Amino acid sequence: MDEPQIRLEENDAKGRYVISGPDGAEAEMTFTKVGPHQIIIDHTAVPDAFRGQGVGLKLVTRAVEDARAAGKTIIPLCPFAAAQFRRHAEWADVLKK
């Protein structure tokens, strides 16, 4: 199976990372921008069509990579994202202390 394409959609205040499935289902992780150097991950939604494929982790990983590249920090308010941050010590550099 090909790696799913992750699309970033954003405006001045908010954004989301999205993976679209062949059946039109969308997995998404939404965030809110807090100033120019910080985002809050507030929600992750993965429909049943994507279960067991690690799609939620892929979305959070992409946010971490983008934050790192832009010099931003992340506050993972979403319970799923917070759990992923606890599992991935290598993300500590982008986690808001």
The predicted-structure confidence for 54-93, as pLDDT tens digits, reads as follows: 999 999 999 999 999 999 999 999 999 999 999 999 999 9
Element (H, E) at 39: strand 38-45
Whole-prediction pTM value? Answer: 0.93
Q: What is the pLDDT, as a whole number, of residue 9? A: 97
CA distance 19 to 49: 11
Q: For residue 83, which of 57, 47, 50 has the smallest C-alpha distance?
A: 57
Tell me the average pLDDT of the chain. 94
Q: CA dihedral defined by 11, 16, 22, 23, rounded to 10 degrees?
A: -90
CATH 3.40.1710.10 fits 7-91, yes or no: no
Per domain, the residue ranges of the chain are 7-91
